[in-house]
Amino acid sequence: MLKMFSSSGGFNRSVLPSALAGSWYPGDSSPLRRMIEQGLASLPAASPPAQAPNLLILPHAGYVYSLSCALHGIREVLQQDFSRVILLAPSHRRHLPNQVCAAAAAGVQTPLGESPLDQEGARQIDRLFSLKFSDDIHLGEHAAQIQYPLIQYALPKAKILPLIIGAMQPEPLRAAAKAIKSVWNEDTLLIISSDFTHYGENFGYRPFSERHQERVREMDLQAFALLQKQDSAAFLAFMAKSGATICGHYALALMLCMLDGDAGLRLLHYCNSADSPAEDSFVCYLSAAAYLPRKN
């Protein structure tokens, strides 16, 4: 149920409901929590990292498609002491040229409960890079909403600062990155929400005549290698040349501009939504983790 909702300018005290509960993931707390817990239990064993990451890249499809991939990242931050999560997500439905959109609301609601939004963090960013404020955009953006239950499960006490990233030219991209980086401290986890290549006629992208899944995997891993090199210009040039349909590429490029040292980005898992090796229409998912020392 929507509480005190208003999408007028400035901050408000409303709580944004989930637009995905009951469709993209279960609509009730118990089956949703059980789905996450069973997904974590089914992951292959892995040694815990020497340093818990403070940066994750996670996919954002419905949980039946990408939850398992996302949980490879989520398990690395379970019960860590982050008090805030900055969430960078692409805009799928609204054209936001050189804009970053924050929510005006005070909280978000999912079947797992209510989480506060970090209005003060958004205010600090807005002083350095003028933000657009729209609860309507946030209500309609699945790339942000799909992450909220996972954040609530892993870090139940954390505030969330969700930011929807539009198509960015280099100069505003760097300016936005500088502003967001100013609030990325040692108590903050940074999450970038992005699927990787969307392939097939349904997505208007089918450049290969054979070995579709193999070729797309090769291309996605080339893009990921550029992320590991932390070269924003080279990554965006690769996107332009290849035409790769990585929906969060501006959010990923912004992330690269925020990195002021070697973050050691690690690939945790890669997969796609295909039901068979021969299928030629699918979406690819990737989870990754990194750590870059921050100061308060």
Q: Does 128 reside within a domain?
A: yes
Q: Provide the 3-class DSSP secondary structure of residue 129.
A: coil
What CATH number did the domain enclosing 105 receive? 3.40.830.10
Alpha carbons 38 and 61: distance in angstroms, whole number = 18
Domain range spanning residue 216? 50-290
Residue 61 has pLDDT above 80, yes or no: yes
Decide: helix, strand or coil at residue 40. helix
DSSP code at position 184 = -
For 240, residues 6+ apart whose C-beta sits below 8 A from its C-beta are none
Q: How do residues 118-159 score in pLDDT, each as one tens digit?
A: 999 999 999 999 999 999 999 999 999 999 999 999 999 999
In a domain, 42, yes or no: no
The answer to the question of residue 252 being in a domain is yes
Residue 37 lies in a domain: no
pLDDT of residue 140: 95
Residue 249 lies in a domain: yes
The pairing of strands 282-290 and 55-58 is antiparallel
DSSP string, 155-210: -TT-EEEEEEE----HHHHHHHHHHHHTT--TTEEEEEE----EEBGGGTB---SS
Q: Is residue 195, in this structure, part of any structural domain at all? A: yes
Residue 40 inside a domain? The answer is no
Please state the domain count of the chain: 1
Token duo for residue 267: 């690939």
Residue 106 in tokens:
């005070």
CA 200 – CA 208 distance, rounded (Å) = 10
User: Residues 219-274: pLDDT tens digits?
Assistant: 999 999 999 999 999 999 999 999 999 999 999 999 999 999 999 999 999 999 99
Examine residue 38 and state whether it is found in any structural domain, yes or no.
no
Q: 3-class DSSP state for residue 21? A: strand
- In 3D space, the residue among 81, 75, 157 whose CA is nearest the CA of residue 113 turns out to be 157
